[in-house]
Amino acid sequence: MNQLLVKENSHLLVSRAMHPQNTQVNIKGCIVGGEKTVVVAGPCAIESEELLKETAFKVRAAGASILRGGAYKPRTSPYSFQGHGEEGLKILARVGQEMNMPVVTELMDSQDIELVVDYTDVLQVGARNMYNYSLLKKLGRLDKPVLLKRGISATIEEWLLAAEYILAGGNHQVIMCERGLRSAEPWTRNTLDLSGVALVKEISHLPVMVDPSHGTGVRSLVNPMARAALAAGADGIMVEVHPHPEKAFSDGPQSLTPKGFSQLMRELDPIARACGRRVK
């Protein structure tokens, strides 16, 4: 099995043998990997300050702890909306401060680190950049939490060794994020690997979040997969929420409405409690 390298090499920093206790990542008082199941919510892309503020107000009221929003958007087509860049970062920072919510956004290029790090509380490494080892090494030299998404076809070992690059540089504030794998299944955007969540929790001490929005690409599947993720041991959930998904610049079909997000939070609460945790 490919995972044997991580399982058998106890010297690896990601290994539970090296660090038996669960790592907890503190994001402005929000503890990922602690008693509370942390919920990250917000639109795929930052479209305008008004829309982000509306979304942040509603998801915070429902119980979300961290606000997400993309300023730089990696898109398959070069003609799709690519994000507002630095202006988007400024909007995210302002809204996060006003709503008293930590913020997370994706870092696309190592040359943007100094810019992005000033506006966000968590740096997200997207699935396309999981193999960008030069970027991972630079993030290892920062004192800033990193949300590391699993690559679209990455094995668990490759995912964990990507995290090892960051830890080896001295930054141990790493949160793993399962967001689904590319498969032959045409009815969903990706295939969400919840067995991988349970396995990473078993062999590594790092906290794990699950993104059922990208993991399925289907709005109606987000809630059941989020519930299943908590049962599998996930430390947090990351979902896309938009007040008007049919008008969203990106990922509308997988975005929950604020009403749908409130319903999700109600559904997650009893599952979290059954697992000895809470969502609010």
What six digits make up the tokens of 20?
A: 């038996």
Q: Which of 113, 63, 123 is nearest to 92 (CA)?
A: 123
Cα dist from 213 to 6, 93, 227, whole Å: 28, 23, 13
What CATH number does domain 22-270 carry, 3.40.50.720, 3.40.720.10, 3.20.20.70, 3.40.50.970? 3.20.20.70
**Token pair 């939070």 in the structure block, residue:** 265
Rounded Cα distance between 252 and 230, Å, is: 24
Residue 225 pLDDT: 98
Question: Cα–chain-centroid distance for residue 256?
Answer: 16
Residue 84 pLDDT: 77
Residue 24 pLDDT: 98
Rounded Cα distance between 251 and 43, Å, is: 9
Residue 280 pLDDT: 86
pTM of the model: 0.94
* Tens of each residue's pLDDT in the chain, 280 residues: 344 566 666 679 999 988 999 999 999 999 999 999 999 999 999 999 999 999 999 999 999 999 999 998 665 666 565 667 899 999 999 999 999 999 999 998 899 999 999 999 999 999 999 999 999 999 999 999 999 999 999 999 999 999 999 999 999 999 999 999 999 999 999 999 999 999 999 999 999 999 999 999 999 999 999 999 999 999 999 999 999 999 999 899 999 999 999 999 999 999 999 999 999 8
Residue 187 pLDDT: 96
